[in-house]
Amino acid sequence: MTGGATVSVIIPCYNGHAYLDQAIRSALNQTHPPIEILIVDDGSDNPETITHLDNLSLDARVIRQKNKGLPGARNTGFREARGEYVLPLDCDDWLEPEFIEKTLQIIESDDQIDFAFSWLSLEAESKGVLPKHYNFFEQLFLNQLPYCLLQPKRLWQELGGYDENMRHGYEDWEWNIRLGKSGYHGKAACEPLFHYRVQSTAMLASISRNKHVDLWMFIRQKHPELYSLTSLKKLWFQWRPSKSTRSLWLYFGWEAIYRALPQQIFRKVVAILFSRSHSSKFRKDGSYQ
């Protein structure tokens, strides 16, 4: 077991009680137990969810607020968290018992690493293990990191938290880019310690992917200095020795297509690529609207 570092687990919940107990139990059963589990009820209006939270018997504290969307719920959890480290966990996912211990060990054993995550075990409508690596250059084009990062609360305080304007999704993508932009690095535990439930009735499937180009352009507009050709070349050179999901050269092709095509045509090209991509089958069940 790792030393005395304290960890808070925050679980946003909007009409999503069906698998909540499994998520809470997976946090309670950690070999490095968290000091608290915070359930952020983001204005649920489903009577069953409200009743479930009212009668929650597991050791967790419920924080209620008006609906602010997923980034607003995560920010509330971080704000209320007492732990030195904070771990976001969606209410339909769950952890292996050693998740906190092993990711905390990664951070505390290397001064160059600021946050940690693990590979994914896909559940429900998809099966298999999804490897994840930290490569900041690749992150500028595709969100290759899970939202479930063990990270020091001080980073959230320093960088201002998740962007609450991103209610349509990918708020974790923009957050991950902001971490890298500020010089913070992550590293993966190369085993599937995080169970990611995949279903087709999801914000990621029904909203975020349909708005992928618009959300990516919002990120580009928010961080334009990262997407200049000079910056991209510099970052490519810096990150090319690091593991990545795809060849980093492919992203220069992606950038060239983006710059050459009108936005409407670029949207259609992306939609075709997504429909043919294996990753388009990885659809996440989230109750957020």
Output the pLDDT for position 247: 93
What's the average model confidence in pLDDT over 193-203?
Answer: 81
The pLDDT tens digits for 26-41 are: 999 999 999 999 999 9
- Label residue 285 by pLDDT band (50, 70, 90): very low
With DSSP H G I counted as helix, E B as strand and the rest as coil, what are the percentages for the chain, rounded to 5?
A: 40, 20, 40
Q: What are φ and ψ of residue 64, in 5° steps?
A: -105, 140
- Label residue 203 by pLDDT band (50, 70, 90): low
The pLDDT tens digits for 42-87 are: 999 999 999 999 999 999 999 999 999 999 999 999 999 999 999 9
Query: What's the rounded Cα separation, in Å, for the pair 199 and 126?
Result: 8
Cα torsion 246, 250, 251, 255 to 10°: value is -160
Whether 205 shows a pLDDT value over 70: the answer reads no
Output the pLDDT for position 202: 55
The pLDDT tens digits for 251-268 are: 999 999 999 999 889 888
- Domains plus CATH for the chain? 7-217 (3.90.550.10)
- Label residue 199 by pLDDT band (50, 70, 90): confident
Whether 200 shows a pLDDT value over 50: the answer reads yes
Output the pLDDT for position 211: 79
Whether 206 shows a pLDDT value over 80: the answer reads no
